[in-house]
Amino acid sequence: MKYLHTSAIVAALIVAAPAMAQTVGVNLTTDLDASSSPVCLGSCQLHATGDDTPQIFDLTLGGPAHTITLGTAWVSSGFGGDDDASLTATLNFLDPTAGSASESSNVKYLRLGGFFTPGATIGSVTWDDASLDFSIGTKMFEFDPNNLSGITLNQPVPLTGDLKYVGNGAVPEPASWAMMLGGFGLVGGAMRRRKAATVSYAS
């Protein structure tokens, strides 16, 4: 019975203890790829490059987002535009474990100002999903890329997004641990209370 009481006390302490803030270290780089088929006098191609500099930071479970740089985009010289161009951003994780996640966008733009750079480019970048949920190892994240409108793309324009740490997968919660410990205590107590069977023989 003593062991049962001890297990119950431990379980109660685990449930009552305040949950410590969980943090995860993130180390990632980004790729940013562009695709366009403009109607244009000149080039008017959409170009993009990611950020291969490691972005290293910590995230707290359920805490604020961290803004990451996806890369830059620009339009080459010419007069014309494209209403069906696209950008694809890929987050390449080194930590918390190796993995990647991608998000695509629709880009509409019109380049004004003749064949020479600089010129004015107006348009918009609208990502396909307002937020992208994905897992890297056992860590679950939410990524919110930032849309742009009224932008000038012939000079490189930075594209960004917000990354949050939102959950864990396949890891027991404290309450689950408490239930398991309590169960072990009950089983142990029941085993201790079992009486040995008495076997008698007829004389």
- Digit-coded pLDDT (tens) for 134-164: 999 999 999 999 999 998 887 889 999 999 9
- Give the CA count within 13 Å in the CB-facing half-sphere of 141: 29
Rounded Cα distance between 40 and 89, Å, is: 25
Mean pLDDT (whole number) for 120-127:
93
Where along the chain do its domains lie? 2-16+173-192, 25-168
pLDDT score recorded for residue 95: 97
Question: What are the CB-based long-range contacts (under 8 Å, 24+) for 1-7?
Answer: 1/189, 1/192, 1/193, 3/185, 3/188, 3/189, 3/192, 4/185, 4/186, 4/188, 4/189, 6/185, 7/181, 7/182, 7/184, 7/185, 7/186, 7/188
Identify the bridge partners of residue 80 per DSSP, sorted by sequence position.
40, 111
* Distance (Å, whole) CA 116 – CA 78: 7
Residue 17 and residue 79: Cα distance in Å, rounded? 65
Average pLDDT over residues 160-169: 96
- pTM (2 decimals)? 0.73
Q: Measuring CA to CA, which residue among 105, 96, 86, 171 is closest to residue 134?
A: 96
Highest mean pLDDT among 7-21, 78-92, 178-192: 78-92
The number of residues in the chain equals: 203
User: Vertex 22, ends 60 and 132: CA angle to 5°?
Assistant: 50
- Which run of H or of E encompasses 4? helix 2-16
pLDDT at 188 over 80: no
Rounded distance, CA 92 to CA 58, Å? 16
Sign of CA dihedral 126, 128, 132, 134: negative
